[in-house]
Amino acid sequence: MSTSETTESRSRGKAPAGERVADWADGRLGIYSLAKANMRKIFPDHWSFMLGEVCLYSFIIIILTGVYLTLFFHPSMNEVEYHGSYVPLQGQLMSEAFSSTLHISFDVRGGLLIRQIHHWAALIFLAGMFVHMMRVFFTGAFRKPREINWLFGFLLFVLGMFTGFTGYSLPDDLLSGTGVRFTEGAILSMPIVGTYISFFLFGGEFPGVDFVARFYSIHILLLPGIMLGLVVAHLILVFYHKHTQFAGPGKTNKNVVGMPLLPVYMAKAGGFFFLVFGVIAVIAAIAQINPVWAIGPYRPDMVSTGAQPDWYMGFAEGLVRYMPGWEINLWGHTLVLGVFIPLVLFGVVLAAIAVYPFIESWVTGDKREHHILDRPRNAPTRTAFGVAWITVYMVGLVGGGNDLWATHFHLSINAVTWFVRISFFAGPVLAFIITKRICLGLQRRDKDKVLHGRESGIIKRLPHGEFIEIHEPLSQDAMYTLTAHEQYKPAEIGPTVDENGVERKVKASEKLRAKLSKSYYGPDSQIPKPTVDEYKEITSGHGHH
């Protein structure tokens, strides 16, 4: 016993300092087992996999800069007279929140930079999440086993929107105050509980003296706290599931091909954090954002033209702008449909994309794990649905800026609004049809390429004068990649009589599923993959093509 201890301690004494520290930590945290699984973990490479990283890094940047801003910001609506170094507002009455924002912008050296980095990073964070979500959607990366991680990501997007909203409302400037007023109006439209929620949120009538302090704790503690938890869970699941990959030679549903975390992705991903931070810092150096001093402090009886929320709220703004002003008065009560329907639609549109993975897995009935990404063309109905959804979102954005479209393009505001109203219904339908057709066209082209080879650009004249283009056969790599995807068969309604010959009732859900499945995987929704027989027939008949 004693001898083994001495040998151990002696060998420990010889070990390098780093190893001794690691030993110490391992004895308490078990880090070696953790590192064994993760240090050389393989990550596949594709440019689109970096979109999620942009989100992660901008989130970290937001937290870092946000902590700095809390050192100087006063979340208070007490009225003060301004006596800072911004001359045009000298002597003006404003809330402490507004005046401390001016203080950060004009009197704290570097304060403006950090404020602008914070705001730019927030815009990029939301944009990054949107694009990342679309990447995951269109490649089918949300399929089993990743549905829960899709929901985590979705929640991050929604919470990010509200964190952004509560954040840009804090300076209590004329623009953000108008946004808060809009929120109050939207809350008031809720049947039965609207006025109560409004009075509880604002501590009485709008604007009151409470909402900045309340938004502050929501913005810096409650929402980011939840989001931090979700980000960690999201990343743990990414590690646990291992990253998805596109089909290609050597890449199967049972492996993951790429390069190890240490050193390649440590350097690439770690370096990418600095790239994102660096780019945002440069943007903040040259591009002004939210100049609250030019907008002025909030007054409920004042507003400027061209009032716009930050981009991620533009879709909600649009819904409210193009909705007709329906109001129903019955039995002494008012149902404010003109505002309440947009409020509900806002949730419904977002929920539609959130629950999509579950709908698709119900339609396919596929319970297997999927780690190979789809090319969007190979899932035409899904892709078409996604594009239709984006169309609704973009129509909302256009509607949210209808005044800017009108003034910048010299259009009538009424015409823009009517265009948006019609597009809200027609746009997604058109987008769906067009996208599906494009997908099928691309599938046909893939099939053609596999069977007939690639256009080489070389024109050959045959002895009898005919010109043909020489097609070069694809490599086996390329042919495998183009034919690796699976094609589902549409689900049929089972036999309508049971084993005893008694007619059984076909449930409505079963019929719906069969119908959906047909629209997903029926003959009109996918081009059959080229088969080996087709290929052999074409390539064996020489001079056939």
* Interacting positions 118-147 with other proteins (CB under 8 A): 145
Smallest gap from residue 239 Cβ to other proteins (A): 12
- The residue type found at 296 is G
Closest by Cα among 411, 405, 485, 407 to 443: 485
CA 130 to chain centroid, in Å, comes to: 3
CB nearer to other proteins: give 29 or 303.
Answer: 303
Smallest gap from residue 147 Cβ to other proteins (A): 11
Alpha carbon distance 261, 291 (integer Å): 42
Helix 111-138 with 51-70: angle, nearest 10 deg = 150
Smallest gap from residue 43 Cβ to other proteins (A): 9
Q: Which of 13, 88, 325, 543 binds other proteins (CB under 8 A)?
A: 325
Alpha carbon distance 140, 128 (integer Å): 18
Smallest gap from residue 430 Cβ to other proteins (A): 25
162 binds other proteins (CB under 8 A): no
Alpha carbon distance 176, 526 (integer Å): 48
List 43's β-bridge partners, or say none. Answer: 259
Cis peptide before 191 (omega within 30 of 0): no
Which residues inside 365-424 make contact with other proteins, applying CB under 8 A?
A: 369, 371, 402-403, 413-414, 417
Q: Which stretch binds other proteins (CB under 8 A): 28-36, 295-303, 437-445, 453-461?
A: 295-303
Which residues inside 483-512 make contact with other proteins, applying CB under 8 A?
A: 483-484
Alpha carbon distance 222, 215 (integer Å): 10
Question: Cβ neighbours of residue 377 under 8 Å, at least 6 residues apart?
Answer: 383, 438, 439, 442, 443, 446
Q: Which of 46, 241, 471, 515 binds other proteins (CB under 8 A)?
A: 241
Pairing status of strand 245-246 against strand 372-373: parallel
- Collapsing DSSP to helix, strand or coil, 129 comes out as helix
322 binds other proteins (CB under 8 A): yes
Q: Which of 21, 29, 279, 506 binds other proteins (CB under 8 A)?
A: 279
Which residues inside 457-486 make contact with other proteins, applying CB under 8 A?
A: 473, 475-477, 479-480, 483-484
CB nearer to other proteins: give 172 or 513.
Answer: 172
Cis peptide before 224 (omega within 30 of 0): no
Neighbours of 481 (CB within 10 A): 19
Alpha carbon distance 441, 433 (integer Å): 12
Smallest gap from residue 66 Cβ to other proteins (A): 17
Q: Which of 158, 226, 259, 289 binds other proteins (CB under 8 A)?
A: 259
Q: Which stretch binds other proteins (CB under 8 A): 223-231, 317-325, 355-363, 378-386?
A: 317-325
CB nearer to other proteins: give 189 or 381.
Answer: 189
Alpha carbon distance 60, 120 (integer Å): 13
Q: Which stretch binds other proteins (CB under 8 A): 3-11, 333-341, 347-355, 427-435?
A: 333-341
Alpha-carbon distance values, 287 to 292, 311, 334, 443 (Å):
14, 16, 45, 43
CB nearer to other proteins: give 331 or 467.
Answer: 331
CB nearer to other proteins: give 26 or 107.
Answer: 107
Smallest gap from residue 424 Cβ to other proteins (A): 13
What tokens does 282 get?
A: 């440069």
CB nearer to other proteins: give 299 or 460.
Answer: 299
Which residues inside 191-220 make contact with other proteins, applying CB under 8 A?
A: 191-196, 198-208, 210
Q: Which of 69, 97, 320, 373 binds other proteins (CB under 8 A)?
A: 320
| Residue whose entry in the numeric block shows the structure tokens 């030993």 | 23
275 binds other proteins (CB under 8 A): yes
Annotate each residue in 45-84 with x if it binds other proteins (CB under 8 A) or - if it does not, as one string.
Answer: ----------------------------------x-----
Alpha-carbon distance values, 354 to 155, 279, 319, 365, 501 (Å):
9, 31, 19, 19, 42
CB nearer to other proteins: give 133 or 201.
Answer: 201
What tokens does 311 get?
A: 């981009």
Which one-letter DSSP state was computed for residue 234?
H
The site for other proteins, by CB under 8 A, has a size of 126
Smallest gap from residue 517 Cβ to other proteins (A): 25
Residue ranges of E strands in 379-508 = 454-461, 467-472
Smallest gap from residue 519 Cβ to other proteins (A): 28
Q: Which stretch binds other proteins (CB under 8 A): 27-35, 121-129, 217-225, 244-252?
A: 244-252
CB nearer to other proteins: give 203 or 430.
Answer: 203
Which residues inside 515-534 make contact with other proteins, applying CB under 8 A?
A: 530, 532
Closest by Cα among 337, 332, 340, 261 to 43: 261
Smallest gap from residue 199 Cβ to other proteins (A): 4
Smallest gap from residue 77 Cβ to other proteins (A): 8
Smallest gap from residue 340 Cβ to other proteins (A): 10
Closest by Cα among 133, 129, 140, 130 to 376: 140
Smallest gap from residue 194 Cβ to other proteins (A): 5
Pairing status of strand 328-330 against strand 333-335: antiparallel
Q: Is 523 exposed, middle or buried (0-12, 13-18, 19+ CB in 10 A)?
A: exposed
